[in-house]
Amino acid sequence: MYARILVPVDASHAATAGMMEAARLARLCDARLRLLHVAEAGLPSAEAILYQVVPADLGSTALLAGAALLERLRDDAMREGAAVDSVLVESDGRKVHEIVNEQAQAWEAELLVLGTHGRRGIDRLLAGSVAEQVVRHAEIPVLLVRSTQVEGQDGGLQSIAAAIA
């Protein structure tokens, strides 16, 4: 069915839900799974600048955090029985959805699997949606996996519902 499944991930519960669903699907299809993290060096807060507690290299910090995240998620996917590797890309100011779709094309992925928060209304307007932008620009099928867990909530995922966009 699918031989190569690309899974963009971040540190959210939604991304973990997407990765776990992709790992199960990869095992069923005997597919290769690739985890992708786009490291974005954020801007320091005004308080951090004022008190001069800005890390010397925000990019390095983002890359280290991304590498640790990928290692943890890769281990989780392997425990699910998936053949998995990972890629860490620095955004360099580019949009995440562009990088995701470029990586999908370069690796010849046949399916993208993304976790989504399923935000609506004002929350979606304010927070934006990388998943929505990936879907709008993707040239291959996209599977969205919704996590109903609220970010910052302790414990495991309470419920996962998958929908194909």
- In whole angstroms, give the CA distance from residue 11 to residue 65: 9
Structure-model confidence comparison of residues 157 and 13, the more confident one: 13
Structure-model confidence comparison of residues 118 and 101, the more confident one: 101
Q: Which are the contacts of 30, defined by CB distance < 8 A and separation ≥ 6?
A: none
Look up the pTM and report it. 0.78
Closest CA to 16 of 114, 161, 89, 82: 114
* From 6-15, 76-85, 111-120, the region with the lowest mean pLDDT: 111-120
- In whole angstroms, give the CA distance from residue 81 to residue 62: 28
| All domains of the chain in start order, with CATH | 4-164 (3.40.50.620)
Residue 155, pLDDT score: 39
- What mean pLDDT do residues 40-67 have? 63
115-154 tens-digit pLDDT: 987 655 555 444 457 888 899 999 999 999 987 665 544 4
Q: Residue 97: pLDDT band by 50, 70, 90 thresholds?
A: very high
Output the six-digit token pair for 70.
């990928």
Q: Residue 51: pLDDT band by 50, 70, 90 thresholds?
A: low
- What mean pLDDT do residues 51-73 have? 76
Structure-model confidence comparison of residues 7 and 163, the more confident one: 7
CA distances from 73 to 113, 133, 152 (A): 14, 23, 18
| Residue 114: other Cβ atoms inside 10 A | 28
